[in-house]
């Protein structure tokens, strides 16, 4: 019983006893069978994490926060990549739930009907990340993409730009909400023009940012500011504007979204919307493990907010 307890929950065994057990385990090469453990206990120590991309720096930062929070604990992180596919997300949720996880962390609010049914009936704790909404499956931590994009648009207008445009790629639900925020703020200011919006379902890259800006300036050459759906596109927008001899920020202002490191390192430095991705990953895991320990969060929905980081690319003069 003591050995079993040490392997399942080492915190409940004295350090001296645990050291002895670990020495025997290492000598024997013993590896616990997670399937047998799940059958006996009804749960594993696995926390499943489903993100839409493992190459996107945004989700890399979130994952780093999750792994940092899990370091040294009994919790094991298993990662699933949905590749922005609702069907793949559903498949991953089914796979994780069949393995009796202690909890799930997954991105966004826009699960399919089948995935929603699975999550509502899941026998584990759940944290949705990257967004805030009124009706979480269990717990949620993120921010409002609509509000953040609207704030960035107002920043451009307050800086003196009068004909803002918008470029976006991928067009996943979060991208669409950012577009909605831009449109709402531009309409309220009386400066919205659909000709100054260029979008594509293609995956976002710096090169694509160049192409989208070229399309935008071809359709609406009087555009004097561009809000970019993410920082990859913003860097491409910067290169394309410089290639055309446009002065930044005098002739055109640029704003990105997420505030990756390259925004401050660019020449000129590019304004961006800072999102707190590392903290989001850490707090998501802490909310989940706290709930598993019987410590419920003060509120099931945590809004981490955002910050518009103004730099030279929108510091218009005159």
Task: Tell which wins on pLDDT, 2 or 292.
Answer: 292
* pLDDT for res 32: 64
pLDDT in tens, 252-288: 999 999 999 999 999 999 999 999 999 999 999 999 9
- Structural domain includes residue 4: no
Q: What is the CATH number of the domain that holds 263?
A: 3.40.50.2300
- Are 232 and 171 in a shared domain? yes
What does the DSSP 8-state code read for residue 131?
-
- Are 175 and 108 in a shared domain? no
- Are 95 and 199 in a shared domain? no
What span, in angstroms and rounded, lies between the C-alpha atoms of 228 and 239?
A: 13
- Structural domain includes residue 197: yes
* pLDDT for res 29: 72
Q: What is the DSSP string of 193-234?
A: -GGGEEE-SSPP-HHHHHHHHHHHHHH-TT--EEEESSHHHH
CA torsion sign for 163, 168, 173, 178 is negative
- pTM equals 0.86
- Are 152 and 268 in a shared domain? yes
Q: How many domains does the chain have?
A: 2
Q: For residue 117, what are the domain limits?
A: 33-143+277-305
Q: Is residue 191 a contact partner of residue 163, using CB atoms and an 8 Å limit? A: yes
- Structural domain includes residue 165: yes
pLDDT in tens, 71-88: 999 999 999 999 999 999
- Are 269 and 149 in a shared domain? yes
pLDDT in tens, 107-151: 999 999 999 999 999 999 999 999 999 999 999 999 999 999 999
- Are 228 and 187 in a shared domain? yes
- Structural domain includes residue 69: yes
End-to-end CA distance of the chain: 76
Mean pLDDT of all residues belonging to the chain: 93
Q: Which tokens hold the place of 57?
A: 């720096």
CA distances to 93, 236, 269 from 82, rounded to whole Å, are 10, 26, 33
- Are 283 and 166 in a shared domain? no
pLDDT in tens, 224-235: 999 999 999 999
- Are 188 and 68 in a shared domain? no
Q: What is the DSSP string of 29-95?
A: T----HHHHHHHHS--SEEEEEES-SSSHHHHHHHHHHHHHHTTSS-EEEEEE-TT-HHHHHHHHHH
Q: Which tokens hold the place of 275?
A: 């999102």
* pLDDT for res 37: 52
- Structural domain includes residue 67: yes
The rounded percent of the chain whose pLDDT value lies above 90 is 84
- Are 96 and 153 in a shared domain? no
- Are 174 and 213 in a shared domain? yes
- Structural domain includes residue 7: no
* pLDDT for res 42: 57
pLDDT in tens, 88-108: 999 999 999 999 999 999 999
**In the chain, helix, strand, coil percent, each to 5?**
50, 15, 35
Q: Which tokens hold the place of 46?
A: 């696995």
CA distances to 96, 236, 238 from 46, rounded to whole Å, are 9, 40, 43
- Structural domain includes residue 315: no
pLDDT in tens, 160-219: 999 999 999 999 999 999 999 999 999 999 999 999 999 999 999 999 999 999 999 999
Q: Is residue 229 a contact partner of residue 168, using CB atoms and an 8 Å limit? A: yes
Angle formed by the axes of helices 173-189 and 145-158, to 10°? Answer: 40
- Are 64 and 121 in a shared domain? yes
No. of helices (H) and no. of strands (E), the chain: 12, 12
Q: Which tokens hold the place of 172?
A: 């996943």
- Are 61 and 96 in a shared domain? yes
- Structural domain includes residue 318: no
Report angle CA 280, 284, 286 to the nearest 5 degrees: 120
Query: H-helix or E-strand containing 165?
Result: strand 164-168
* pLDDT for res 27: 82
Taking 50 as the threshold, does the pLDDT of residue 39 lie above it? no
């Amino acid at each position: 019983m003591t050995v079993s307890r040490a392997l399942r929950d080492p915190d409940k065994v004295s350090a001296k006893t645990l050291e002895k057990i670990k020495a025997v385990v290492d000598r024997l090469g013993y590896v616990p069978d997670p399937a047998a453990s799940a059958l006996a206990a009804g749960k594993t120590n696995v926390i499943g994490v489903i993100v839409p991309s493992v190459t996107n720096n945004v989700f890399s930062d979130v994952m780093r926060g999750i792994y940092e929070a899990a370091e040294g604990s009994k919790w094991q992180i298993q990662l699933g990549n949905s590749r922005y596919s609702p069907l793949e997300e559903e498949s991953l949720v089914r796979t994780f739930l069949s393995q009796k996880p202690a909890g799930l962390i997954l991105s966004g609010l826009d699960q399919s009907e089948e995935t929603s049914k699975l999550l509502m009936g899941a026998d584990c704790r759940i944290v949705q990340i990257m967004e805030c909404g009124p009706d979480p499956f269990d717990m949620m931590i993120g921010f409002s993409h609509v509000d953040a994009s609207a704030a960035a648009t107002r920043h451009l207008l307050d800086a003196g730009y009068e004909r803002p445009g918008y470029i976006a790629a991928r067009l996943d639900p979060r991208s669409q909400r950012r577009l909605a925020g831009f449109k709402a703020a531009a309409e309220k200011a009386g400066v919205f023009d659909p000709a100054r919006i260029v979008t594509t379902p293609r995956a976002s890259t710096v090169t694509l940012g160049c192409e989208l800006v070229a399309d935008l300036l071809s359709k609406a050459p009087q555009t004097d500011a561009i809000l970019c759906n993410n920082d990859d596109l913003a860097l491409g927008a910067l290169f394309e504007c410089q290639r055309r001899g446009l002065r930044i920020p005098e002739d055109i202002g640029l704003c990105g979204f997420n505030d990756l490191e390259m925004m401050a390192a660019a020449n000129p430095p590019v304004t961006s919307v800072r999102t707190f991705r590392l903290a989001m990953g850490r707090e998501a895991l802490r909310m989940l493990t706290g709930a598993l320990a019987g410590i419920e969060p003060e509120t099931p929905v945590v809004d981490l907010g955002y910050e518009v980081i103004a730099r030279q690319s929108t510091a218009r003069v005159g």
